Every structure is written in structure tokens, then in C-alpha cells.
Amino acid sequence: MLRSMYSGISGMRNMQTKLDTIGNNIANVNTFGYKKGRTTFKDMVSQQIAGASGPGGNLGGTNPRQIGLGSQLASIDTIHTQGSLQNTNRELDLGISGDGYFRLGDQENTFYSRAGNFYLDQAGDIVNSDGQYLLGMDGGVINIPPTSQSFSISQTGNVNVIDAEGNLETVGTISLAFFPNPEGLQKAGNNLYQVTVNSGEPGAPSIPGENGTGTLVAGTLEMSNVDLSEEFTEMIVAQRAFQANTRIITTSDEILQELVNLKR
């Protein structure tokens, strides 16, 4: 009887975690490059009442008898599927069509991101909204001289400028990183990811379109891969599951009350 009460508690706790994940997904439905989370569960250890027995003599075999002790959190996954590309017609908005991540920071502290909304600082360096440098193939920053007449970014990451004399010049090449296990990356906030022991090392920087990476689409931004219809459906499922687990607790409490009332 008390086992059922604690099973209900474990179920309620897990549904709260699921709702937390769903709430974060919905809050980031319009966050560029955001990858949605998913919560999975597994059963806890089962208490053995009787073991299995094989056939013998005049009797057949019997199956084991076990009572489960509730559920527990199995994983909180990050789903790295491609988000849709939204057209912005802005030169420094870059979407990745395919796999790969932008490299941000410096050679000592490198972060990774799918958010491609970039800007120019006072010196003409390409940075993200937090001022972190977008890294090129050589590991350095990419600078667009303030005296340039115009610039463009190709699918393979080449940053081309028209200088003050009207000459075409390539000032750098945007690099991408590819991971053996993208789901092993750790979220660091601000649309950034960090390497973990399970994500694998990204290896040498790659030119967009090579070594498994996708190409760049200038003038677009990758939207979140959150599907609101799916999230609201999962919210309803989690809410009903939470209610069902609370019913287990209230029913167990009513049985306890009946036992207490046996002696008056």
C-alpha cells in the first residue's frame, strides 16, 4: 500500500521535470538556433516477491513476481534537428543548411553556436550579440575594413569585400565545427554550446560544405526547431499523468484512513 504512494510521488516529480523542459522549449520558440529538449523516463528497481522456476516433475515453470517501485529520470535530450531558415536579407545574418556549428570566442576558449545573427564592432570585426568573435579558418577574427565599400559572404564562408579602390578582396573564411555526437554538447547559455567528453572533439576547423558540415546561406537565420503543436500536446500528456499520480496518492491515503478507523 505504501509502495503505491511513493510510486505516485516519483511519477509527480518526473512530470514536473517534463513540464519544466516543455516550458523552456516554449519560452525559446523564437530563439535563433535553439534546439529543443526532450525528457525520457525509466522504471526504478523492482522488488522481488518470487523468482522464476523451471518445469520439473509434474509441474510447469512459473514466471517471476515483482512489484515496481516507481519511475525515474532517464535522460534530458537535446534534439539537434535542422530548424527552418527565415529570410532576413541582412548580410551578416547567416544560416547553416546542414550540420555544423559556428566557432566563437578565441583560440583558448572556443564556444559553438547555431545562431547566426552577427554584427560588426567599431574595429570592423565580426562578433555575435554578446561581442564574442566569429572565428575564421586560421583561428583568428574576421575583419571587414571600415573603408570597404561593400561586402558579401559566400556559401563556402568566404568573406569578400570591395575595398576603397573598388578591388575585390577576400579578407577571411568563416569556419564551422563538426562533432561526432552533437547531442553530447553541453548548453552554456546565450545560444552557446561547450565540448564534453561524450560529444567528441571537433577536430580541425572546416570550410562550410566540407567534412560533413553544411553550407552557409547569407541573409537568413535558422529558427528554433520547437514545434508548438507537439509541445502543447506533450504538456497535456504531462498534466494528465501528473493528475493520475496524485490520484494514486489520494487513494492510498484513503486506504490508510480506513485502516486507522478499524479500531475506534
DSSP state of 178: -
Q: Is the pLDDT of residue 2 over 80?
A: no
pLDDT exceeds 70 at position 244: yes
Least confident of 19-33, 175-189, 246-260: 246-260
Q: How far is it, in rounded angstroms, from Cα 65 to Cα 239? A: 31
How far is the C-alpha of 45 from the C-alpha of 2, rounded, in Å?
16
In tens, the pLDDT along 94-120 reads: 999 999 999 998 767 899 999 999 999
Residue 238 scores a pLDDT above 90: yes
Segment 138-160 mean pLDDT: 91
pLDDT grade for 3, boundaries at 50, 70 and 90: confident
What residue spans define the domains of the chain?
2-44+67-80+226-260, 85-222
Residue 1: the pLDDT is: 59
For the chain, the average pLDDT equals 92
In degrees, rounded to 5, the angle at the alpha carbon of residue 190 between the alpha carbons of residues 185 and 194 is: 25
CA distance 79 to 114: 13
- Residue 189: all three cell numbers together: 547559455
Q: What pLDDT, in 10s, does the model give residues 38-86? A: 999 999 888 888 888 888 888 888 888 988 889 999 999 999 999 999 9
DSSP character string of 48-109: EEE--B--BTTB--B--EEEE--EEEEEEEE--PPPPEEE---TTBEEEESS-EEEEE-SSS
